[in-house]
Structure 1
Amino acid sequence: MKKVLVTGGNGNLGKYVVEALVKKEIKTVVLTTKTSITTQNNIQFFTGDLLENIGLKEATEDVEVIIHCASNPRNFLQTDIEGTKNLLNAADRNSLKHFIYISIVGIDKNDYPYYQAKLQVENIVANSGIPFTILRTTQFHDFVLNMIKTLDQSGKSDFITIPSGLRFQSVAVQEVAELLASIALEQSKGLIKDFGGPEVLHFEEMTKSYLETIQSDKDIILEIPEDIRHKLFTTGVNLCPENNTGKQTWKEYLNILI
């Protein structure tokens, strides 16, 4: 029976990865910054900090597989880059057989700082000497939904202003979690093919679907994107239409969630 450690196991993706592992009856360990949890639903929790290099030795002891989900787009130089180095250095090389890293489609095609940090982490993992698998996915459905909600809440009551030209191939976070849990049962494969949602949609289409779902009659006003992150999503590097393996569509996601 394999013992799998999930970093970021309380996060948006990590919590579903943990759930998928438990369903597969895999012994699961979670590295968390929370201090009040030790064991829950047969899941072992270790309090630790990637950047401060606290609790990593204890959490990685006897672990055969690490699924590295922890990330911080606002503090990526420390959390993602330095934190990953600390994790790899702390890993029990006598037991660890497979290091799985979740990454993002297109990080090798754009100089957006967070993308460049993720690419650097990929290289750190690949050069660690530990057998590894890297999975790049498109944006999650909830990433797009949160973007729409933020724009909606910051605007007027009778219309929503959104950046034009953005496209997404959003995917269900649960589907990505299931894939990661399955990879944990397999041999390492290096950088595997991208995993994207079932459809490529313009942001305006996605916003219209959102407004229809919540039964809002707001008008949509388009503006030229100024934010560096918004501009990124006009380039198409975040898409992989040839790898549209995801099943849940944007509208299906909205209908379930809202």
Structure 2
Amino acid sequence: MTTILVTGGTGTLGRHVTELLRADGHEVRVLSRTAQPYAVDLREGGGGLDAALKGVETVVHCATSARGGDEDAAANLIAAARRAGVGHLVYISIVGVDRVPFGYYRSKLAVERLVEESGLGWTVLRATQFHDLLAQAFGALAKSPVLPLPAKVPDQPVEVREVAARLAELAVGAPAGRAEDMGGPEVRDLESLARAYLRATGRRRPLLRVPLWGSAYRAFRAGGHLTPGHAVGKGTFEEYLTSRFGRRPAA
């Protein structure tokens, strides 16, 4: 079986990818800043990264940070992967990184280009936002008496386990270049998603629709981060909420 390194292998997505690949019989190494024996900060690189990649055939790059540093991390990973003779680099990106001028998206697009120009066999999968991310955001916003939302913004959340299954499938296959985008089953407005979250958690909060400004907000309002033509996900946001909070959010 294949020896595979999963960066960010303890994170929301990476841990599911790791579990699936191990269940399929592959030797999987987990790399993160804290996971032993491959505790490495990709932004710094170093000898620990070379040791983690020794004998690895495929890398699934899930590590990311909204606080910055993704491009440096990817450059260090790619350089070490070349030295190790890695044959396949799989990268998870976000739908709309080439259409929405948002800082984090620009960084993800820059990493895509590094991967494409790496000289390695590569695969890039773009997915829409995970259910987990929305729940985390709504939970933080609901700490105030009023839950503020950017006005007239749609979303298409997807179940993280489904994305993990697709990444695992791509990892054990041949390099595919840009794989088809992966979106959740429904395009919804943020208000309906927030109301579902509040019902599932038993909270009562009035929603405050906040009109924002700027090119990124206009792109989000226009649906630049959506992929309705690739609504291949099956799990809905309500199903995710039921599995997480134990109560079905009524319509």
Task: Provide TM-score, normalisation by structure 1.
Answer: 0.89
| 1:50 counterpart (38, 42, 55) | 42
Counterpart residue type for residue 210 of structure 1? Y
Match of 1:60 in 2: 53
Counterpart residue type for residue 60 of structure 1? L
Structure 1 residues 170 and 27 mapped into 2: Cα distance closer, same or farther (>3 Å)? same
Match of 2:122 in 1: 132
Question: How many pairs does the alignment contain?
Answer: 244
Identity %: 36
Structure 1 residues 74 and 134 mapped into 2: Cα distance closer, same or farther (>3 Å)? same
Runs (5+) with no aligned partner, structure 2 = 246-251
- Superposition pairs for residues 148-187 of structure 1, below 5 Å? 148-153=138-143, 155-156=144-145, 159-187=146-174
Q: Secondary structure at the match of 2:221?
A: coil
Alignment of 1:34 onto 2:34: yes
Task: Provide TM-score, normalisation by structure 2.
Answer: 0.91
Contact map agreement 1:63 1:92 (CA 8 A) in 2: no
- Superposition pairs for residues 192-211 of structure 1, below 5 Å? 192-211=179-198
Listed one character per residue, the Cα deviations across residues 147-205 of structure 1 (whole Å, up to 9, x for unaligned) are 1111111x21xx43322111110001111111111111100110111000000000000
Contact map agreement 2:6 2:18 (CA 8 A) in 1: yes
- Superposition pairs for residues 35-114 of structure 1, below 5 Å? 37-38=36-37, 46-54=38-46, 55-75=48-68, 78=69, 80-93=70-83, 95-114=85-104
Q: Secondary structure at the match of 1:47?
A: coil
Structure 1 residues 17 and 143 mapped into 2: Cα distance closer, same or farther (>3 Å)? same
Counterpart residue type for residue 23 of structure 1? A
1:93 CA drift (Å): 5.0
Match of 1:221 in 2: 208
1:117 CA drift (Å): 1.2
Q: Secondary structure at the match of 1:139?
A: coil
Counterpart residue type for residue 152 of structure 1? A
How large is the Cα RMSD of the aligned pairs? 1.8
Contact map agreement 2:56 2:84 (CA 8 A) in 1: no
1:94 CA drift (Å): 5.8
1:229 CA drift (Å): 6.8
| CA distance in structure 2 between the partners assigned to 1:217 and 1:117 by the alignment | 36
1:67 CA drift (Å): 0.2
Q: Secondary structure at the match of 2:20?
A: helix
Match of 1:122 in 2: 112
Match of 1:238 in 2: 225
| 2:137 counterpart (147, 162, 172) | 147
Counterpart residue type for residue 59 of structure 1? A
1:143 CA drift (Å): 0.9
Listed one character per residue, the Cα deviations across residues 72-105 of structure 1 (whole Å, up to 9, x for unaligned) are 1112xx2x11111111111155641110000000
| CA distance in structure 2 between the partners assigned to 1:171 and 1:230 by the alignment | 21
| CA distance in structure 2 between the partners assigned to 1:166 and 1:139 by the alignment | 13
| CA distance in structure 1 between the partners assigned to 2:15 and 2:33 by the alignment | 14
Q: Secondary structure at the match of 2:98?
A: coil
1:137 CA drift (Å): 0.3
